Amino acid sequence: MSMATANASVERARPMTREEKRVILASSLGTVFEWYDFYLYGALAVMIGAQFFSAFDATTRNVFALLAFAAGFLVRPFGALVFGRLGDLVGRKYTFLITILIMGLSTFGVGLLPSYATIGWVAPVILIVLRMLQGLALGGEYGGAAVYVAEHAPRNRRGFYTSWIQTTATLGLLLSLVIILALRMALGEADFAAYGWRIPFLVSVVLLAVSVWIRLQMEESPAFRKMKEEGKGSKAPLSEAFGQWKNLKVVIIALLGMVAGQAVVWYTGQFYALFFLQSILKVDLFTSNVLIAWSLIIGTGGFIVFGSLSDRIGRKTVILAGCLVAALTYFPLFNMLTRVASPELDAALNSAKVQVIADPATCGSVFDPVGIRTFTEPCDVARVALARSAVKYELVSAPAGTPAKVTFNGKDVPVAAAIPANMTAFAAAAAEVGYPKAGAASVVKLTSVIPNTAQSWGVIAILTIFVIYVTAVYGPIAAALVEFFPTRIRYTAMSLPYHIGNGWFGGFLPPITFAMVASTGDIYFGLWYPVVIALATVVIGLIFVPETKDRDIYAHD
């Protein structure tokens, strides 16, 4: 055994020091809190829409609420630029102290914000501003936490140490789901909708106080201190990171060869799976959230496992393998999820024949990822209504001038002018050909937070596989990105590809995939989005991404 190998083995075997544990705790706790704040809005979007966009009908206000949610994803890369630059100029510690204050105060502000009924149009404007502040703060927070921990970690354990940061997104989601479920059960649906939804936002101020106190005790990272002492800091990290091709090329490779695939696997496993349960399989809100929560509880340890594994076999190997396995198995696993969670629906998808018969000239694109389009042509209205009802359909061309019609196993169902009226009519017709009715006994359902049926545990098993995929691609990503870039521009350069990948490629995955479903009539067609991107990342990563696990992040400057 060589001296280097022996030293690496000893380094991996030794326990964490007290200071290292403090670093990880301080960074991870604050980041859990950041993600908790960020996810609260998404989990409560419908109620927020009713409070702040009440001037509009239910469908429109829900769309506006989701667009406000999307605004947080949209601005994340800009937060990465602003706070990444600050972090490379003045230091890691103070920068992500600022980000947690912005996130915490803007979240607390949502809990205090008067509704539309009280202050009119000012309410939604302030809400969107607060949401954008959350996105900006998150754009700076993750990079700071990842860089700070990595720059404190032993060279041969960076994957293991930074994997604790990677657990925070999942733990933040889990914490938000648990608090929301507990309040729903304690207050009842009516009181929760009236005022209880504000409580999770308001209690975040306690988490903020604890996180700020812990972070004030922290020291600056040793890599940043060393760089400053040697006078090697960058005076213009933005132009150096993105204005010089040698660095910009690495940013692009990191985005397309690692982060894009990681992002779609993450959002498919944790967000699209939840959306699929609720919107496609019609599993009730309580049951779907509890099922997802159990899968997160069971699978979250995978972040540490795969982060540690990447210290041994490489970041690139673990991340690209996760992307490849996920891409190859998503279609059979989502088919299995339908079969287990809603067996009647699975049978109907294979036996019922639903057709939209129309003149092709009257059928346009129904691709509507942000949900703001208005459809007037009967062909398009019918297709959107069928997709929202989770009814699989086939578009059949008819001679020019033929009025659009919908048939269920050959039986005509008139097409109404409005989408909601069609959804009502199509639901009744779908029930006649075998689709489950609302609240059908065959659809998985829980009455407590403890699953007690083989069906519910079967669904949890499938969801846990999705979470394991998430942990495989996400566990090593922080260490990989930190190792890609020199200390002088590390915060700036690594934050942008991470937040473009996760904020845009990943954050907009649920609406894009549902738009793909609506445009084709196939409830599984949206899976092509994560599958294609994940496979593209595998190919690009294999060709262009170097292995970085043994890189000395001090010497790399």
Q: For the residues of 465-519, what is the DSSP string, one character each?
A: HHHHHHHHHHTTHHHHHHHHS-GGGHHHHHHHHHHHIIIIIITTHHHHHHHHHHH
Mean per-residue pLDDT over the chain, rounded: 83
Q: How many CB atoms lie within 10 A of CB 175?
A: 21
What pLDDT, in 10s, does the model give residues 515-526?
788 778 888 999
Distance CA 454, CA 240 (A): 56
Distance CA 214, CA 207 (A): 11
233-253: average pLDDT:
78
Q: How many CB atoms lie within 10 A of CB 213?
A: 10
Highest mean pLDDT among 99-103, 288-292, 317-321: 317-321
264-274: average pLDDT:
88
Q: Which helix (H) or strand (E) holds 245?
A: helix 245-254
* CA angle at 446 for the pair 450 and 270, rounded to the nearest 5°: 80
What pLDDT, in 10s, does the model give residues 418-464?
888 899 999 999 999 999 987 888 999 998 889 989 999 999 999 99
The pTM score is 0.84
292-296: average pLDDT:
90
User: What CATH number belongs to 349-432?
Assistant: 3.40.30
Highest mean pLDDT among 1-10, 197-206, 356-365, 529-538: 529-538
What pLDDT, in 10s, does the model give residues 304-315?
999 999 999 999
pLDDT for 10 beyond 50: no
Distance CA 111, CA 179 (A): 15
Domains 20-341+446-544 and 349-432 share a fold: no
337-363: average pLDDT:
93
Give every CB contact of residue 169 below 8 A, 6+ residues apart in sequence. Answer: 31, 35, 266, 474
Q: Which of 109, 127, 119, 102 is nearest to 49 (CA)?
A: 127
Give every CB contact of residue 17 below 8 A, 6+ residues apart in sequence. Answer: none
Helix axes 315-341, 343-351, angle to 10 degrees: 80
pLDDT for 39 beyond 60: yes
Quick one: pLDDT band at residue 33, thresholds 50, 70, 90? confident
Q: Which of 306, 304, 270 is nearest to 465 (CA)?
A: 270
Q: Which of 33, 501, 30, 452 is nearest to 267 (CA)?
A: 501
20-341+446-544: CATH, from 3.40.720.10, 3.30.70.270, 3.55.50.30, 1.20.1250.20:
1.20.1250.20
Distance CA 333, CA 384 (A): 25
Quick one: pLDDT band at residue 9, thresholds 50, 70, 90? very low
463 or 5, higher pLDDT: 463
**pLDDT for the residue numbered 318:** 96
**pLDDT for the residue numbered 56:** 66
Least confident residue range of 134-143, 195-204, 313-322, 527-536: 134-143
Q: How many CB atoms lie within 10 A of CB 343?
A: 16
**In the chain, where the domains are located:** 20-341+446-544, 349-432
Q: What percent of the chain has pLDDT over 90?
A: 32
Q: What percent of the chain has pLDDT over 70?
A: 88
Cβ atoms of residues 311 and 157 within 8 Å: yes
